[in-house]
Amino acid sequence: MSLEFDGAERRDDALILVDEADRNVGSMGKEECHSGQGVLHRAFSAFIFNQDGALLMQQRSAGKRLWPLYWSNSCCSHPRGQETLEVATRRRLMEELGIACRLRFLFKFKYQAQFDATGAEHELCSVFVGRHSGPLTINSGEIADWRWMAPSELESEISDLGALKYTPWFMLEWARIWAEHRTDVLSLTIS
C-alpha cells in the first residue's frame, strides 16, 4: 500500500545555468528558465526498475506548467544551488516517490523541446538508473498517477501513442537507453 502526501516543487527555485560543457554560468528562477524557448540549465532523469524489470512511470500532475498529465520516467528535476546531481536525484526520489536506492549514471545529453509559444525545456540532462522493489510514498502535488510497465509493454505503447502521451525528454532518453544500454538495464543488480 502506498501513502500520499502533498508538497510540490517550488516554481521559484533557482536553477543552475550551464554552457554546453556543463560549466556553471549562473542561476535563474525556474519559471524564467522555462519561458520562451528556455535557457540551458542542468537537469537529471532517473529510471527506476523493480525486481521484475518493469519501469516505474509517473503521470505528471495537472498543475505542471509544461506537459501536464503526460507520462514520463520515474523522476526528473533539477539540482538546486551547489547541490551535486547525485544529491539532487536522491532528494527528489525521496520527495516524489518516498524511496532511496543506489543509482548508476548512464549518459548526459542536451535537448530543447517547445511545449507552447510561452514555454519550453532546454536542458543538459544526466540520466541515471536504479532498482527499487519496496513500497512507494507518492507525492500527489507532483504526480497524478503512476504504474510499473514492462519494457515490451512500454515499447508497444510508445509506437502507438508516443508524443501524444509521453514527455519529449522521456522519449529521447528511453530510445537511447533501449538502444545503447538495454543489457545493462535488464541485468541491473544494484539495489
pLDDT digits (tens, 9 = 90+) for 68-88: 999 999 999 999 988 999 999
Rounded to whole angstroms, how far apart are CA atoms 37 and 32?
10
- Please name the residue that has the C-alpha cell 528556455: 38
H or E element: which one contains 87? helix 85-97
What pLDDT, on the 0 to 100 scale, is given for residue 12?
Answer: 57
pLDDT digits (tens, 9 = 90+) for 112-146: 999 999 999 999 999 999 999 999 999 999 999 99
pTM for this structure?
A: 0.90
Q: Which regions in the chain score pLDDT beneath 50? A: 1-9, 11, 190-191
What pLDDT, on the 0 to 100 scale, is given for residue 184?
Answer: 80
Catalytic residue annotation: 76, 123
What pLDDT, on the 0 to 100 scale, is given for residue 160?
Answer: 87
| DSSP codes, 91-159 | HHHHHHH-----EEEEEEEEEEEEEETTEEEEEEEEEEEEE--S--EEETTTEEEEEEE-HHHHHHHHH
